Structure 1
């Protein structure tokens, strides 16, 4: 008798579905605003993926000074340095708002990268995008004034240039944090924020709402080697 059982076709691998699913080697957890995700010095044995929310990455110096080195949003990975041999976390991470975070063990991450080409492509595309962002940040620090650096940071936080962008920044960032991220003083940030608000580039009342006019102003302005900060 011929086999009449239907052939079971393997479902195509979907990286987003994989990252949202709880299974061996993966956990999905909710974090409240300001809740710690991991601390500097913790054992580095997981890679994190943001399903929802924003995460702040900070570094604490030997003298106790804390600096913000990055803000990560939905669809981004962080903590992936463990894949290349990092034993301890060199930074700390905190939820800037309510977050949903997938944590993947190092072994599960490496196994999936080896077994699923679609996931490998997805992860490599993220790493390339992040590398490009780091290069842009370096150029920004070297050649642009603090005013232009602040404008670029606000546009990035508002997701301009991404699908679904041009929306209000859904978190309240202190002027101290903004100053740390662009390498200037709080008083300079305050001056530029007031200038942007007076020109109608932003609304600043409890949260930062960035308008497309700020992007237009940045594009019109020719970048120059910074004279002072």
Structure 2
């Protein structure tokens, strides 16, 4: 894998969008480059690291494991996305684990350094708080979906959530690197159940299914359709 341009990757991260240009020299000086093969653990649930991780290339999956050892995929993040929410709450253990979904390069910024930069450049706070609030809102929306909505609406809204949280929802088509089996695992459903419903969305032109990928042709059109199902 080639060496990433640390400053360019960090500038592309939405969480850091509020930092002025001068801050990125300091960001680059503190950042460590880490590489993982597909299936490698990046960190485990309960670990105490406080770091902000930005994906330079590849994908990761956020996971939870039950007492029987069964892993559930909660979210998949693509290049440009950030994870490591405990960077905002030092001293707290990580709630979920993270695994390399495919070969991945991570840029890791120490939590203390990130917090110092936010204190030095307070203009960064509105953007960071907005994105953290959006993640909380999205999590609450998923809970609402599971309680109140039918299967097609749940699948459609979960795809919209994945597109939005990876920062790729910008008005055009969005491709998510996700298999139907992984989507089923993420939602606690059978692969057959997800396959039948997502085929309905494909027939209506809202999604295109390829090997290991699901493309939302128009997130806005899918969202409008799902509202008609409420």
Deviation at 1:190, TM superposition (A): 1.4
| Structure 2 residue aligned with 1:5 | none
1:154-181, Cα deviation, whole Å (9 max, x unpaired): 2333459932542333x1x232321232
Residues 70 and 19 of structure 1: CA distance in aligned 2, closer, same or farther (over 3 Å): farther
Greater helix fraction, Structure 1 or Structure 2:
2
Match of 2:229 in 1: 222
Aligned: 1:23 with 2:29: yes
1:149 deviates by 0.8
Match of 1:135 in 2: 140
Q: Distance in 2 between matches of 1:75 and 1:154?
A: 18
Structure 1 portions without partners, runs of 5+: 1-11, 224-229
The aligned length equals 208
Structure 1 residues 119-153: Cα deviation after superposition (integer angstroms, max 9, x where no partner): 32332121112122122222212211122111112
For the pair 1:112 / 2:120, whether they are aligned, the reply is: no
Aligned partner of 2:169 in structure 1 is 162
Structure 2 unaligned blocks of 5 or more: 1-17
**Is this contact kept in 2: 1:28–1:102, CA < 8 A?**
yes
Normalised TM-score (structure 2): 0.74
**Corresponding residue for residue 128 of structure 2:** 123
C-alpha distance in 2, partners of 1:218/1:20?
44
Question: Any runs of at least 4 consecutive aligned residues in structure 1 with deviations exceeding 6 A, and if so which?
Answer: none
Q: Cα–Cα, structure 1 residues 52 and 124, in superposed 2: closer, same or farther, change >3 Å?
A: farther
Corresponding residue number in structure 2 for 1:14: 20
Larger Rg: 1
1: CA distance between counterparts of 2:35 and 2:223?
34
Q: 1:185 to 1:145 in 2, by over 3 A?
A: same
2:70 match: 65
1:189 to 187, 194, 208: 194
Q: Which residue of 1 aligns with 2:96?
A: 91
What secondary structure sits across from 1:23 in the alignment? helix
Note closer, same or farther for the CA distance 1:148–1:34 as it changes in structure 2 (3 Å cut): same
Q: Distance in 1 between matches of 2:35 and 2:24?
A: 17
Q: What's the TM-score once normalised by structure 1's chain length?
A: 0.74
Q: Deviation of residue 41 (structure 1)?
A: 3.9
Give the conservation status (yes or no) of the 8 Å contact 2:138–2:161.
no
